[in-house]
Chain A
Amino acid sequence: MAVVLPSGTLAYEPAAVRSAERSRVWRKLVRNPAALLGGLILFVVVGAAVAAPWVAPHDPARQSLIRRFTPPVWAEGGNPAYLLGTDQVGRDILSRMIHGARISLLVGVSAVAVSLVVGVGLGLASGFVGGRLDTVIMTVVDITLSFPQILLALAFVAALGPSVVTIIVVLGLTGWERYARVVRAEVLALREKDFIEAARAMGVGWGRTLLRHVLPNTFSSIVVMSTLQVAQAILQEAALSFLGVGSGSAYPTWGQMISLGRDFVTVAWWLPTFPGLAILLTVLAINLVGDRLRDAIDPRAT
């Protein structure tokens, strides 16, 4: 029930209802074992990334020719000081993995932030202005979707010169179309609704109407989509560094570790295996949380 307050805002949903809704979603998430497991893994990965210099047992860059190709601790010839073994120049795999979490998470989250800003902005413009601008933006969406995303990212990162910022921008600019579509659809659906018209009639400006009444309605689907996109962006960053156009720095990344490990797969299986497991677990955890989040937010979707 929409109530028009004297201040000119519309109280169609009291704040108490919204916070009750939020705690319902939260309870559903916590009660779900899969989401809980995902959250737990994420907690460990984020913790490792943040505290990398303090929790990593060794300097990730320190080489030691005597200790090269030390197998993991449980295998024959393992050394308890190097739990997951060492690589071809004797660097500690576990320490490199812990530091590698930083790049993965940084790129994943920042790329999604770029996508969000571009996608939401263009989606709003597309839905509200409509007409020719709408056609142009939707055509750009079509064009973006025509390229194998990883290939486009690969070409532009190589052309612009590899760096973390380039990767973030390129991944962000190739993944915004989903937000644009959702926001646009929501704007089109809400445009003619009574409460929007009421707000307009009250003299509320378009900017305020968008911020207060339209965007909150897209919030839940955007949260779910961006969670899942973080997982994709982490996979893409790993693929880019695997293909050799990574951050361009000496800082270890998971994809780069796998790429180097591929050359030694016949002599040292642990080189590519563990960084890959790190990617798998991180992405799995995000996917689990994102998926359950969708179920919790939208009871109709199964």
Chain B
Amino acid sequence: MTAFLVRRVVRFIVVCAGVSLVTFAILHASGDPVALIMPEAPEADRAMLRKALGLTDPLPVQFVRFVGSAATGDFGKSFFHHGQPAFDLVLERMPTTILLTVASMVLALLVALPVGIYSAVRRNSVVDHVATVVVFLGQSMPVFWTGIMLILLFAVQWRLLPVSGWGSWAALVLPTITLGTFSAPLLLRIVRSSMLEVVNLDYVRTARAKGVSEWRVILRHALKNAALPLVTVTGLQFGLLLGGAVITETVFAVPGVGRLIVGAIRQLDFPVVQAGVFLLAMIVVTVNLVVDVLYVYLNPTIRIR
């Protein structure tokens, strides 16, 4: 267990370094960032700024400096937003993004768990077939289009909910549903297939044979083992979910990290892009670390080794 933890943490650190390298590369992929900061300045001024920003140093030196400042949350100042520190801009908007992501995750689980379990237990029932069709449709729908169609129905046609914005509970509904329909199909698929794998195992049959009630067998005995793959996949899909959140925020003008980054990308505001991409990637890396540790903790067969 300790050996596993040590190995896992080492991998975490290596991946963090890699994430920094990729984030660092974003700025340099654009060519000359100084040309973006002062597009009209004469070459002499540009050269001065380049020197001041340390862009004339060798790349490895710049990278080490980047990692050093990134570790302390310093990504430089935004080219826009009145020159506020990029990291603060991202941090300010983080709670909004987390709220949206968590709310939609809860919604997706509320749908995926019962429907997935039922589809697995009553295989080939009407519910199972309908669920399969819905999963296919859901996985093939572009998330931004789902959002626009919901706006069309609920905000334009029936005038029940606001078109966009943030600040009231009503405004939270459509973005949450949009992002929920993005993640629910995948979760449902996993719940169903991992339940299918365990419902016919011997120990489940034994539980039934000794007279445990059907639903208790499913919820207590089968679900416990089926939950493990769900935990792993949820971790692996977290990046996908955050990507969906970025798009959803743009559609509904939700003032979260995603909308900030997309705006910054359009304006080529690289400090903000770097801070945002770095922080979101860090969240994914950390979630995956937690999931791996949790997996070992939940799974006794690994814990003992």
A contact set with B: CB distance below 8 Å: 139-140, 142-143, 145-152, 154-156, 158-160, 231, 235, 238-239, 242-245, 255, 258-259, 261-262, 265-266, 269, 272-273, 276, 279-280, 283-284, 287-288, 291, 302
Contacts and interface: CB of A to CB of B under 8 A. Distances in A.
B145 A151 contact: no
B49 interface: no
Contacts of A291: 136
Given A139-B14, A235-B142, A239-B247, A147 B22 contact: yes
B250 A243 contact: yes
Contacts of B139: 283, 287
A214 to B, nearest CB: 27
A242 B29 contact: no
A255 B142 contact: yes
B145 A276 contact: yes
B5 interface: no
* Chain A interface main SS type: helix
B148 A143 contact: no
Given A150-B247, A159-B27, A287 B142 contact: no
B65 interface: no
Given A155-B26, A283-B140, A148 B280 contact: yes
Contacts of A151: 242-243, 246, 258, 261, 276-277, 280
Contacts of A266: 156, 163
Contacts of B142: 235, 238-239, 242, 255, 258, 276, 279-280, 283
Interface in B39-75: none
A146 B273 contact: no
B78 interface: no
B106 interface: no
User: What 9 A-B pairs have minimum CB-CB distances, sorted nearest first?
Assistant: A143-B18, A276-B145, A148-B243, A284-B140, A159-B30, A283-B140, A150-B243, A159-B29, A158-B265
Interface string B281-305: 1001100100000000000000000
30 contacts: A142-B14, A142-B15, A145-B239, A146-B239, A147-B19, A148-B243, A148-B284, A149-B239, A150-B246, A152-B277, A154-B246, A154-B261, A155-B277, A158-B265, A159-B268, A160-B29, A239-B144, A239-B247, A242-B250, A243-B250, A255-B144, A266-B163, A276-B145, A276-B149, A279-B141, A279-B142, A280-B140, A280-B141, A284-B136, A287-B136
Interface of B: 11, 14-15, 18-19, 21-22, 26-27, 29-30, 136-137, 139-145, 148-149, 151-152, 156, 163, 196, 236, 239-240, 242-243, 246-247, 250-251, 258, 261-262, 265-266, 268, 270, 273, 276-277, 280-281, 284-285, 288
A255 B18 CA distance: 31
A265 B252 CA distance: 13
B156 A160 contact: no
Given A151-B261, A155-B265, A239-B142, A143 B22 contact: yes
A283 to B, nearest CB: 4
Contacts of A155: 26, 261, 265, 273, 277
Contact of A231 (B140, B144, B145): B140
Contacts of B280: 147-148, 151
Contacts of B276: 151
B143 A239 contact: yes
A258 to B, nearest CB: 6
B240 A149 contact: yes
A146 B140 contact: no
A146 B19 contact: yes
A185 B97 CA distance: 37
Contact of A160 (B30, B136, B140, B243): B30
Query: Which of A238, A245, A276 has the largest number of chain B CB atoms within 10 A?
Result: A276
A159 B26 contact: yes
A295 to B, nearest CB: 12
Contacts of A158: 30, 265-266, 268, 273
Contacts of A239: 142-144, 247
Contacts of A152: 22, 277
Given A140-B18, A149-B240, A155-B273, A273 B247 contact: no
Contacts of A288: 136
